[in-house]
Amino acid sequence: HLYLVESGGGLGQPGGSLRLSCVASGYTDYYSIAWFRQAPGKERERVSCTTSLYSGSVTNYAASVEGRFTVSRDDAKNTIYLEMNNLTPEDTATYSCAADEYQCPETFDYWGQGTQVTVAA
């Protein structure tokens, strides 16, 4: 089993910043890890996907967040971070991390429970 736990959500100000964390435990030999978000009345959106191939790593971002959000990793802590900058109310959503043994597949096998992010004045 691979367990994922998100944290860091809360209330953010428009134009402000928040940082989310996703900690992996148990079987941690995943090949790719991604951030998703789901807002009420909206379709689920993949925010980012990070892959590792031949010890390399690359992150692809959704157009809606590219230039504002940044993914980083701390391998010693089995943790991935999502730093969100220049927040807008449209960033309000439940954010979840997901992992898989394959390179950014259409369907991910392992999911965290999610953390709520609300952006409002």
Quote the pLDDT of residue 72: 94
Amino acid symbol at 98: A
Closest CA to 97 of 1, 12, 2, 16: 2
Query: How high is the pLDDT of residue 68?
Result: 98
Instruction: Please give the C-alpha separations between residue 26 and each of 34, 84, 119, in angstroms, as whole numbers.
Output: 18, 27, 33
Taking residue 92's Cβ as centre, other Cβ atoms within 10 Å add up to: 18
pLDDT in tens, 70-88: 999 888 898 999 999 999 9
Question: pLDDT tens digits, residue range 45-67?
Answer: 999 999 875 557 889 999 999 99
pLDDT tens digits along 94-119: 999 999 988 899 999 999 999 999 99
Average pLDDT over residues 85-92: 98
**Rounded (to 5) percent helix, strand, coil in the chain:** 5, 55, 40
Determine the length of the chain. 121
Query: Mind listing the pLDDT tens digit for each residue in 29-43?
Result: 778 999 999 999 999
